[in-house]
């Protein structure tokens, strides 16, 4: 479980990935 969270923290610390996730969230919520 902790390793899963650590992987997420690493991914979220990457600005490029954060931008992609934000785009996915926006398209998901705008439906």
- The pLDDT assigned to 1 comes to 80
pTM: 0.44
Cβ neighbours for 10, distance < 8 A, ≥ 6 positions apart: none
Q: What is the pLDDT of residues 1-31, one digit of tens each?
A: 889 989 888 888 888 888 998 999 999 999 8
- The pLDDT assigned to 10 comes to 87
Q: Mind giving me the DSSP string for 1-31? A: -HHHHHHHHHHHTSHHHHHHHHHHHHHHHT-
- The pLDDT assigned to 17 comes to 87
């Amino acid at each position: 479980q902790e390793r899963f969270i650590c992987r997420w923290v690493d991914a979220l610390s990457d600005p490029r990935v954060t931008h992609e996730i934000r785009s996915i969230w926006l398209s998901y919520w705008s439906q």
